[in-house]
A and B are shown apart, each in its own frame.
Chain A
């Protein structure tokens, strides 16, 4: 296949359960448990589950944590929840930092 094609990355796509499993390396039971814990969100329930393509990032992260630290599924769910909270706090921190004057660090500690 030629490599100079202009490729379009996935955007707001939905992916099937099989694809989520294949691309993340998570097993079927692990995905089911992570959904039960609320760590992974289903786009569409019913006979064939589908997921938002964004969920793949979380699923891959869960699999990495499992492989590198030997986490079980509840461990993965807790780690994902904490990481989500940290990212939310970091975002809030960036918002607040964005409201501060640039390059003013160090000038605040002004003592008479």
Chain B
């Protein structure tokens, strides 16, 4: 996105470019669709991409796009201003000209501004209200009181299983909106360090109270929310505080039993596989999972997987044949006698 300092309309027109977003395409509607059709399209997409109900990976980003498009197209003033821009390709940089540009550019504070910000500012001018703070991550409520709570910030942190187990200090680089002296909005980077306590689990949302955006008027600051994602571990799979470890064993270990060594997050332990072990059986190592917040820890489950060698020596083949001849074990006994059909 082009950056500029504020200036007069004629100066800025030559220099500022804003990336065009095709809001009609985002909602999948024609440009001449009725307000009702736009609302229906929005509802359908909101249901599909709402981050609270969607399981699609990029749901949150999609929902944001859909929400932004609807915010503009459902507001008659903003829709009219947007329609005046004409057709462009999504992502194409354009320079608004004439009245449209002049109305907005003169307000200044255009660093890091996007189309939605411009349209919102235009809508506010048309509605006779002053340009206020940053968009509060969704629809702004009309007639907001002077004292308003600050915006909540959200960040995502992907951490290793080991870090989740011992806790870590996260360095977050937050992109936050900042209101400039002349009433404009710009995005600035803010470094924040957060001490993540041990015992966090995948999908957990941490809250740091009062570390979001500053409040408006007498309003309190918003909060900072951090979504925790655990990286895939080469050995362990985490489910809540429990860990699962795939434990391959040989056919003879399964039959005869064995004492085997297993890795855990805090060193190796020896465990006994009982004779006659089956694939899928779980060995539970109590308290060897991820630590919990207060006391204790989840469990570690070693899941036995019976593996057979694919390459065997002549000697091994000979022994297997000998075993086959000597054994009376018949795992398919329940299949006999075969059912007969009259």
Residues of A within 8 A of B (CB): 3-12, 22-23, 53, 56-57, 61, 64-65, 67-69, 79, 83, 91, 94-95, 97-99, 101-102
For B239, list chain A residues within 8 Å (CB): 91, 94-95, 98
Tell me if B138 and A12 are in contact (CB < 8 A).
no
For A67, list chain B residues within 8 Å (CB): 138-139
The CA-CA distance from A99 to B194 in the complex, in Å, is 34
Tell me if B52 and A12 are in contact (CB < 8 A).
no
Q: Give the most central of A5, A7, A12, A79: most B CB within 10 Å.
A: A7
B68 within 8 A of A: no
Nearest to A61 among chain B residues (CB) is: B52
Q: How many residues of B contact A (CB 8 A)?
A: 43
Tell me if A91 and B240 are in contact (CB < 8 A).
yes
* Known contacts A22-B149, A68-B46, A95-B239; A9 and B207 CB within 8 A of each other: yes
Residues of B within 8 A of A (CB): 43, 46-47, 50, 52-53, 67, 138-139, 149, 152, 169, 190-197, 205-209, 211, 220, 223-224, 226, 237, 239-240, 242, 244, 246, 280, 282, 293-294, 301, 303, 305
Tell me if A99 and B280 are in contact (CB < 8 A).
yes
Tell me if A10 and B50 are in contact (CB < 8 A).
no
The CA-CA distance from A101 to B50 in the complex, in Å, is 33
For B139, list chain A residues within 8 Å (CB): 67
Known A6-B169, A68-B67; further 18 A-B contacts with Cβ < 8 A? A3-B191, A4-B192, A5-B193, A7-B224, A9-B194, A9-B206, A9-B207, A11-B293, A12-B294, A22-B220, A23-B209, A57-B205, A67-B139, A69-B43, A83-B52, A99-B280, A99-B301, A101-B246
For B209, list chain A residues within 8 Å (CB): 10, 23
Nearest to B235 among chain A residues (CB) is: A102
* Known contacts A12-B293, A68-B50; A98 and B193 CB within 8 A of each other: no
* Known contacts A64-B52, A67-B139, A94-B239; A8 and B244 CB within 8 A of each other: no
Number of A-B contacts (CB under 8 A): 87
A-B CB contact pairs (8 Å), 26 listed: A4-B192, A8-B194, A8-B197, A9-B196, A9-B208, A10-B209, A23-B152, A23-B207, A56-B207, A57-B205, A61-B52, A64-B50, A65-B52, A68-B46, A68-B50, A69-B50, A91-B240, A94-B237, A95-B244, A97-B237, A98-B237, A98-B239, A98-B301, A98-B303, A99-B244, A102-B246
Tell me if A98 and B197 are in contact (CB < 8 A).
no
Nearest to B194 among chain A residues (CB) is: A7
For A83, list chain B residues within 8 Å (CB): 52-53
A74 → B minimal CB distance (Å): 17
For A8, list chain B residues within 8 Å (CB): 194-195, 197, 208
How would you classify the secondary structure of chain A's contact residues: helix, strand, loop or mixed? helix
Tell me if A10 and B207 are in contact (CB < 8 A).
yes
Tell me if B46 and A69 are in contact (CB < 8 A).
yes
For A3, list chain B residues within 8 Å (CB): 190-192
For A99, list chain B residues within 8 Å (CB): 244, 280, 282, 301, 303
The CA-CA distance from A58 to B276 in the complex, in Å, is 47
* Known contacts A3-B192, A91-B240, A99-B282; A53 and B207 CB within 8 A of each other: yes
The CA-CA distance from A57 to B67 in the complex, in Å, is 21
For B67, list chain A residues within 8 Å (CB): 68
Across the A-B interface, give the 5 residue pairs with the lowest CB-CB distance, nearest first: A98-B244, A9-B206, A98-B237, A94-B239, A6-B193
B304 → A minimal CB distance (Å): 10
